[in-house]
Amino acid sequence: MFPKLLLLFIGLPLVEIAILIKLGEVLGFWTALLLVIVTGILGAALARAQGLWIWSQIQQELQMGRMPTEKMLDGLFILIGGIVLLTPGLLTDLFGFAFLVPFTRNLFKDWLHRKFEDMIHSGKTNFTYIIR
């Protein structure tokens, strides 16, 4: 686990810096800076819109007496996407936008479902139910 975290917190920023430097060479400093700012603003607006939409969907599910597990998972991905979009860089922006767009978010949700199912079937995890 530690090597993965090390790669995430050291490797990813180095890759982002390299991409931004190369982009600055190709497009120019001010254009690259403007691109980072615009993606941040667009990402924040999209995260807000998607967040408000999913919040209303969660409230509707609760009013109908259903547990909104899928919608809450959508909300988690939207939150992560919004946070990732706040970090400067184009690679993280791609992941952030992918978490905010419903089609690609559903692909990530399907992958996560399969991952959880594999963990359960392989015995790598277990669940405890508390019945009152």
| pLDDT band, residue 44 (cuts 50/70/90) | confident
| pLDDT in the model for residue 127 | 65
Q: How many helices (H) and strands (E) does the chain have?
A: 6, 0
In tens, the pLDDT along 103-125 reads 999 999 999 989 888 888 887 77
| pLDDT in the model for residue 126 | 66
Q: Are 45 and 100 in contact (CB under 8 A)?
A: no
Rg (CA), the chain: 19
Percent of the chain whose predicted confidence (pLDDT) is above 70: 96
Q: What is the pTM of this model?
A: 0.79
Whether the per-residue pLDDT at 91 is higher than 80: the answer is: yes
Task: Report residue 67 as tokens.
Answer: 């547990």
Task: Report residue 44 as tokens.
Answer: 């924040």
Rounded Cα–Cα distance for residues 2 and 37 (Å): 32
Q: Are 53 and 77 in contact (CB under 8 A)?
A: no
Q: Is 30 exposed, middle or buried (0-12, 13-18, 19+ CB in 10 A)?
A: exposed
**For 64-101, where are the alpha helices, taking DSSP H only?**
69-86, 90-100
